Chain A
């Protein structure tokens, strides 16, 4: 297919603004997928994605549309919808010439709309704004059009007002794509440069690279090379996505398709890398490649030590499909053998956690998440730590640096006060305040990443009745007065409960953790002191009183089986607890560090 009849586009939108529904409608109108084949939100293939209403992994599909007697191949590249996947979003945008910007007619522009929009503008994409959900009674298409006009300079009346749900005006969107999005550029006779914008593991074909060919072409399955990592591959097949994989034996310049790379794990191929031919390589890769950088770390342990091998198998399988997930073995005194996992962000961590429990049926304990701290030792050397346990002796530490990020919050103006309060409690600094219109404002803050990891998003939503939206990007490391807060149970430090906190918060958090532990740790046969300490200094203390009474008042003939089963359940519950020294600690204790809210 010649370049002039190809269009590469993506859809960008805030969560729930209708991206997937619009994609479904486009697939239907172009006949790519028949009614019968149409599942709700076809592109979100994982069960979890459908439930959470967000797209985790990008995918792509080729649609053929006839317009004015000619056939066009429109490649629709789906982008992940969450802040943790900014890098993947950027690579997906890089593969396109145009982007449909979907804005919800009832909600207007939100933080992620902006974040993705700026990313799209950075890639010089042609932006086609559309206003969705005009079928809803609460729709305010004219107000939203006004917002978009102010933002993009597109005359408000020219913005299509659609309903992806009913299909109203969606055909018009396709026409605008063909008319306004430029065809791809590129030199068919140059050496191959194919951008990997996503990759997935297929149990039959190994690692599948989703690619956009910028220059050159693929003919057959010659030996190839990933330029960033230098890894060579012997591809099994190439083809297009309809959205099923259809082998075509060739991929032309400007086209989007897949390469079954023959690689065995997704770790062997990075998103953003450039694939070229081994025999006739391109002189340089396409720009934008960065190796994956996990930002959030947490310990993961099987509830039952016997499940360690199963957990490792599950992680291996998960990693096949999630290149961003990294892990290595870790040993905790309290929790035994487990792993240290690295995630792109808190959302990514939640997804991994749910998948482990849901898809692999594993009962696991996650410890409190931590960011990667930079420790400058007194001898001038530097150490990157991802767990409080790795912190060196205080005497060896010159100072510690922690990652900061720039946070963008979009909110109705009446919530500025509560947000300001939340952000300052979390050591945030005000950077900017941009009015979008008379009612809505964009707030820009600088905050430590550690402060937004734990419950910040939920708290933000709670304080703004769900109206605020946020996005963040890392902005660098800064020195910080950080200390390690240890929790001692029955006089013994429990390593899995240690956290790194800012000195000024240590006392408050220590008290809170101690009182939380006191609630969670069940009464034992003896009194159990719980202490929070910095180094040798105890800053808070509480006692779990000894268990006085745990006995059934009655057990008669009619009760024996029932009472026995009751005791069996009680015993099973006891077994699920972790023995630390001689104290039984329930699993939720290890997660409770996560819920040190700002109030009370």
Chain B
């Protein structure tokens, strides 16, 4: 979370010991603390996914915001067939895909560096730029499986659940995605 301000970061009082499945009905019942807890628990992963899929800081921020709002506003639609995390990621992936489609219809706008607001990590800027460019050159489903697997540690089944596909699809996309990413990122750098 970094150095989040006290008045902007959600409280963490319920962040441990209470399962998502217990928090969801409390949120539906109007428990704002449970809502903040769900947000605190998952917003970072949504942000990572959006950041990886969109490779554009402002777009990633907008997508993460929209995905979280959609999820928290439509908690009644969460039936518990999957984990809350995969359900939330499915929403985030759809938001990102919508944004990518809209972006494809408009002229390409170069995004600001991902680390422009973090000068302490300025040495990683070139790495981040190359990763972003390599990721951005991949098909969206490859980006999604790569981020969910490599950054967030999802299992194949969870990725398949979030993307609405089979685990075989996940394996194939992950294999091709890794190969393409390494080719475009530069094998000599690794």
Q: Do A and B bind each other?
A: no
